[in-house]
Amino acid sequence: MQEVINALNEAQQEAVKHIDGSLLILAGAGSGKTKTLTTRLAYLISEVGIDPLNTLTLTFTNKAASEMRERASKLIPPNASMPLLCTFHKFGLLFLKFNIEKLGRANNFVIIDSDDRKRILKRIAKEHKIDLNIAFISSEISKYKNTLLTADEILKKAELPDYRKIATIYKDYEAEITENNLVDFDDLLMLTYQILEQDETLRKETSLRYQYIMVDEYQDTNELQFKLLELLASEHNNLCVVGDDDQSIYGWRGANIRNILEFSEHFKGTKTVKLETNYRSTFPILKAANELIEHNSQRIGKKLTSFKGDGDKVKLFHSLDESLESRSIAKEIKVLLDKGVPSDEIAVLYRINALSRSLEEGFTKEELPFKLLGGMRFYDRAEIKDMISYFRVLSNPNDDFSLERIINKPKRGIGKVTIDKLKKAAFESQSSIFRFLKEQDVGTIVSKKAANALKEFVANIELLQSEIKHSLHNFIELFEETIGLKRYYAAMIDGTERVQNIDEFIGFFREAISQTPNLALDIFLNEISLQSDQDNIDENAITIMSIHASKGLEFEHLYVIGLEEEFFPLLGDGCNMEEERRLGYVAITRAKSDLTLCYVNSRFYKGQRKNIEKSRFLGEAGLIQGEALKISKAPSYKIGDLVKHKIFGIGRVQAVNKSRQEYKLKINFGGNKKEILSSFVQSV
């Protein structure tokens, strides 16, 4: 054990040897946080003599828990009990199995997944005749549970009609899953918290059982996880958290960066240890990362130093457009592969998923093997499959397979029963579904409402087919106006990204038309099929992924594309510039020795080619000299967000207005409306 400790640097040893009291390990990228955490666990067990059963180590993913468990098992005595090392939600499950009866529930409960939850919500919404996007309802309910808000509280506070409707569904949903002894993913923590908060004796027993608690990736914790940790550590304050405020990139899904920023305020007597030696990247890469992140104001502050020392400068790669960018990157990567560089040491990152389309095309043309990590291939995404299916039906109306996919997208009240009736009738008439709809009176086999919707559908398809013969340019404008596919997807919880993907597809279509004015729709569709069919991919492939998906990974040769205003950073309502900057920091620090940041003069944006400016991050990272830096703060909050004020409690943002150097929020605190500066509230 001593040899393992001696191999650590001074800061790591300091963290490992801290025993009692709260401890914040501020671990920079590539600074050996997992090694430090597992060594500290082993030190407590092997050197201090703490019973492994009195420790609790919490992670966010099963993969991280498994890795830590494997490392820890090699460090602790072979005859020692295995400490509890699991995800937050696994801990909640174990706790509820023993204690859920305290809520009047049986411990033979069944956990439902997100699809099960959506099915229940869909049925309840239908019963109430509420026509809201089910994914949005599910997301809001998840948000309420993770901020410990009940349906009754939402009903009292909600001012907008849609949120009152959601609260009504939430109330019925909770009654149904409780009655049927079901537990959803959010309940694993919410119910655990409720039991501990209500039962003083059990809270003390549980806290005294887990006398040494450690938490990985603490910057990703939400309100509920923080409150749960408060209860678990209430009897001893022996809470050690490891995280990096500069890598907090999940605010959009509920992570609260204030948990790590204000840790020493919440847990008195906190010792803070900064791990600032980076073992991954060379000095020029860390210099760019340090300079970029220093522009953030919401951070504790640290500066990474390179263990590896000097290396090649960070390269800037400037192209005219995304097609040239992807082809040039592909050619560069070919040279690297020819030199013997392993393909799994090469990656390309992007901020917006829609940017993967040009990369996939460029790599396919150069016959480079690639894998898309942490997301679907561009042409596999539902919204793009819908666009392609519409185009296929317009090109060949007798394509029943494609027609089935889009006949109820956007929703037209054409359910499975109706579709099955149409398929049967068309088959008996030896006709395609579309020809049957066009030539027969379907009112005799389906409802009047469905018949009218189908009649309108046929008319729209024929209108678009007619326009295609005159002008493909005008057709694409008429398509959205007539079909409304973007409006349909915009209403979803991830609607912004889906609309961006549709815009990227439309932009690609327009580009194809401009290059081949007499382009036929079927030829365009065939080209897509070739581009989206990449066979025989093995694990030895270049990785293409979003920056979010890259967290925790590292690559010898790294390209980051889309370093332009509006693409990276994102701009506009709801954009959090500090989180965008943290994403930039995460992207840069994935590189070990060779980093290339790419930007272009123009990209397709919202369906149109647009000239764009290079990203402010290039200047802030010190990579472009002599240019004025744009250091502007975008609002952290948008209309509809739930926020918390230390005096007025929880409220919903109704308006966001600029006020000198920050933003003034109009907030409804359960009917009590206030105008509050944004720095005085926090997200919930």
Phi-psi region of 574 (alpha: psi -120 to 50; beta: other; left: phi over 0): left
Please indicate whether residue 294 is annotated as part of the active site: no
Within 8 A by CB and 6+ apart from 209, the residues are: 53, 54
Residue 549 marked as a ligand binder: no
What is the Cα–Cα distance from 192 to 94, expressed in whole angstroms?
10
User: Within a 10 A sphere around the Cβ of 631, how many other Cβ atoms?
Assistant: 11
Distances (CA, A) of 405 to 192, 382, 524: 42, 10, 20
Could you say which of 590, 592, 614, 616 is catalytic? Answer: 590
Three-class SS of residue 171? Answer: helix
Q: Is 92 marked within a binding site?
A: no
How is 267-315 classified by DSSP, letter by letter? STT-EEEEE-EESSS-HHHHHHHHHHHTT-SSS-----EESS---PPPE
Cβ atoms of residues 457 and 437 within 8 Å: yes
Is-catalytic flag, 590? yes
Show Cβ contacts of residue 570 under 8 Å, excluding neighbours closer than 6 positions.
Answer: 351, 352, 580
* Helix (H) or strand (E) segment spanning residue 213: strand 212-215
Catalytic residue, from 216, 244, 325, 594: name it: 216
Does the bond joining 52 to the residue before it have cis omega, within 30 degrees of 0? no
Whether 51 is a known active-site residue: answer no
Active site residue 34: yes
* Distance from C-alpha of 302 to C-alpha of 276, rounded to nearest angstrom: 7
- 3-state SS of 315-349 is EEEEEEEHHHHHHHHHHHHHHHHHCCCCHHHEEEE
> Has 582 been annotated as catalytic?
no
Q: Which of 247, 418, 534, 589 is the catalytic position? A: 247
Rounded Cα distance, 622 and 626, in Å: 10
- Which H/E stretch holds residue 536? none
Give yes or no for a contact between 623 and 314, defined as CB atoms under 8 angstroms apart.
Answer: yes
What does the DSSP assignment read for 227-239?
Answer: HHHHHHTTTT--E
Rounded to an integer, what distance in angstroms lies between the CA atom of residue 391 and that of residue 524?
10
**Residue 594: exposure state from Cβ atoms within 10 A (0-12, 13-18, ≥19):** buried
Task: Say if CB 451 and CB 443 are below 8 A apart.
Answer: yes
Catalytic residue status for 308: no
Contact (CB, 8 A) for 232 and 207: yes
Among 217, 220, 325, 580, the active-site one is: 217
Q: Please tell me the distance from the alpha carbon of residue 472 to that of residue 458, in angstroms, as a whole number.
A: 19
Name the residue type at position 277. T
CA–CA distance, 148 with 193 (Å, rounded to integer): 9
Was 29 annotated as part of a binding site?
Answer: yes
- Check whether 33 is labelled as a binding-site residue: yes
Ligand-binding annotation for 34, yes or no, is yes
Q: Does an H or E element contain 672, and which?
A: strand 672-677
42 is in an annotated binding site: no
d(CA 162, CA 215): 37
49 is in an annotated binding site: no
Please state, in angstroms and rounded to a whole number, the distance separating the CA atoms of residues 457 and 485.
13
Is 31 annotated in a binding site? The answer is yes
Instruction: For residue 192, give both structure tokens.
Output: 């655990």
Binding residue positions for ATP: 27-34
Any idea which residues carry the catalytic annotation? 33-34, 216-217, 247, 590
Known binding residues are 27-34
